[in-house]
């Protein structure tokens, strides 16, 4: 499974998300798409180092569409409060991508467009909570 953290600005959140992602053996690749500011300057190099030490794969891309185009996942599920359907672990396969946005309060309509939007409950956990809950559901 491919896990993507999209549009991240915070080094601390990027580090926390990476720790969560790296704890799961069912994640084949961790993608950071559209890192910005200090997350791009400081966080990405730190995460690369952590990934290398743990034997994990990481990819950094300018935008989410680049990751989808390059990796060609069968399905791309984006976690968003704007979704009508709840994420069902049975619908997520090994060749699929799960996306959590680092923006508050949620992913933009532009980011969601063309992807399979799913929600996770309880609502309002934020990106770190959504990532942890999604990966726990999918283990």
**Residue length of the chain:** 139
Q: Where are the beta strands (DSSP E) in 1-139?
A: 2-6, 29-33, 58-61, 76-79, 97-101, 116-118
pLDDT value for 108? 66
DSSP conformation class of 39: I
Which two three-digit tokens encode residue 46?
A: 């730190």
pLDDT tens, per residue, the chain with 139 residues:
999 999 999 999 999 999 999 999 999 999 999 999 999 999 999 999 999 999 999 999 999 999 999 999 999 999 988 899 999 999 999 999 999 998 876 776 767 778 999 999 988 888 999 999 999 999 9
Q: Report pTM.
A: 0.94
* Structural domains in the chain plus CATH codes: 2-121 (3.40.1280.10)
């Amino acid at each position: 499974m491919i896990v993507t953290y999209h549009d991240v600005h915070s080094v601390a959140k990027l580090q926390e998300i990476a720790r969560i992602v790296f704890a799961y053996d069912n994640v084949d690749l961790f993608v950071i798409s559209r890192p910005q500011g200090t997350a791009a300057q400081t966080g990405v190099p730190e995460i690369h180092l952590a990934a290398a030490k743990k034997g994990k794969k990481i990819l950094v891309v300018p935008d989410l569409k680049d990751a989808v185009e390059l990796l060609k996942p069968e399905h791309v599920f984006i976690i968003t409060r704007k979704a009508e359907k709840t994420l069902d672990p049975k619908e997520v396969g090994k060749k699929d991508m799960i996306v959590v946005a680092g923006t508050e309060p949620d992913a933009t309509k532009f980011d969601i467009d063309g992807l399979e939007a799913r929600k996770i409950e309880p609502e309002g956990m934020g990106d770190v909570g959504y990532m942890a809950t999604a990966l726990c559901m999918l283990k």
